[in-house]
Amino acid sequence: MQSIRNAVDHAERMVGIQISEVYVGISGNHIGLMSSHGVVAVSNEDREIGEEDMERVLKAAEVIAVPPEREIIDVVAKQYVVDGLEGIQDPRGMIGVRLEVEATIITGAKTAIHNLLRCVEKAGLKVSDLVLMSLGAGQLALSKDEKTMGSVLVDIGAGATTIAIFEEDSLVATSTLPIGGEFVTNDIAYGLRTLTDQAEKVKLKYGCAWLDDAAADVMFKVTRIGSNVDKEFSQEDLAAIIEPRVQEIFQMISQEVKRLGYNELPGGYILTGGTVSMPGFCRSLSMSLLLRYELQFRIILVCVTLGLQAESAYCTV
């Protein structure tokens, strides 16, 4: 709860307003996607489709059998159908008698959802709605062509990596891997035999994900555990620790995408998250993953948050 409060306080200082109501992002391996279909009759006498009709047809799509331990988080329309006419993205203003929707139902584990909401409420905030973080990141980081042709959005966070696959302008699969930037920090702490907070500072200042890009003459000192004497290391020493872990993350991402039933998508991989801004990251990705699978990739280094420029680490804030 204190972490939530600290994040809100930081956001309030950035935008200069008081925040009392929030949209809460959710992710994790408990998230599931289901296809659904809804049908309603157009309610207006003049048969013009309005906002109310769209809300009713999405509500109709929610009427599906959901296990008691799961809960519907959101309903996302893939396409609308007006009197048999398919492929409509926004039917408002059209004339028709029958409105249908092909939708994706996003569900999650009740326990995870309620615990998350409880933490936010205990932090003194009102929850407006839940938002799947993969959808939020996709809206920000992907172009319409990338979502339509098919692409893989990978958000490499601190403790987890979220994979979202988009195709035909819709989210079709999502998964979360329990590995991220914190694992790199832990590797540095073990490799240099230093404290975790020192390892994090060294990673942010001197980290390099590709050994050939590291400089042998860039030196730094850390205090080793069990000793009050600082020991000197080079950026090459640090890269030798970071590179294997980064490549392992790439391999796990590729294997998970294949497990989800996808291989080579035209849009390739779009990467975001704080870890991807590390020097040498592009080279390491190219050599360990792209040459093997001949994939394209794009790294989101800057995104827009609340009208401000921010690092990729905050792409879904």
- State pLDDT tens for residues 258-271: 999 998 788 888 88
> Which residues 6+ apart lie within 8 Å of 226 measured at CB?
193
- Which pair of tokens denotes residue 312? 């990729």
**Dihedrals φ, ψ of 2, to 5°?**
-65, -35
pLDDT of residue 281: 82
Q: How far apart are the first and last CA of the chain?
A: 17
pLDDT digits (tens, 9 = 90+) for 109-157: 999 999 999 999 999 999 999 999 888 888 888 888 989 999 999 988 8
Q: What is the dihedral of CA 218, 222, 228, 229, to 10 degrees?
A: -20
Beta bridge partners of 220: 233
pLDDT digits (tens, 9 = 90+) for 204-224: 999 999 998 899 999 999 999
pLDDT of residue 292: 41
Residue 235: other Cβ atoms inside 10 A = 24
Q: Burial-class residue 270 by CB neighbours within 10 Å (0-12, 13-18, 19+).
A: buried
Least-confidence region, from 134-138, 177-181, 292-296: 292-296
pLDDT of residue 188: 95
CA distance 204 to 212: 18
Alpha helix locations (H) across the chain?
2-15, 51-61, 110-122, 133-141, 144-149, 181-192, 196-206, 235-259, 281-285, 291-293
Residue 74: other Cβ atoms inside 10 A = 18
What does the mean pLDDT of the chain come to? 87
Higher pLDDT, 307 or 238: 238
pLDDT of residue 289: 56
Q: pLDDT category, 297, cuts 50, 70, 90?
A: low
pLDDT digits (tens, 9 = 90+) for 90-108: 999 999 999 999 999 999 9
CA distance 164 to 270: 10
Q: Burial-class residue 18 by CB neighbours within 10 Å (0-12, 13-18, 19+).
A: exposed
pLDDT at 309 over 60: no
* Ramachandran quadrant class, 153 (left: phi over 0; alpha: psi -120 to 50; beta: rest): beta
CA distance 47 to 73: 31
> Which residues 6+ apart lie within 8 Å of 21 measured at CB?
125, 126, 127, 128
- Which pair of tokens denotes residue 174? 């999502």
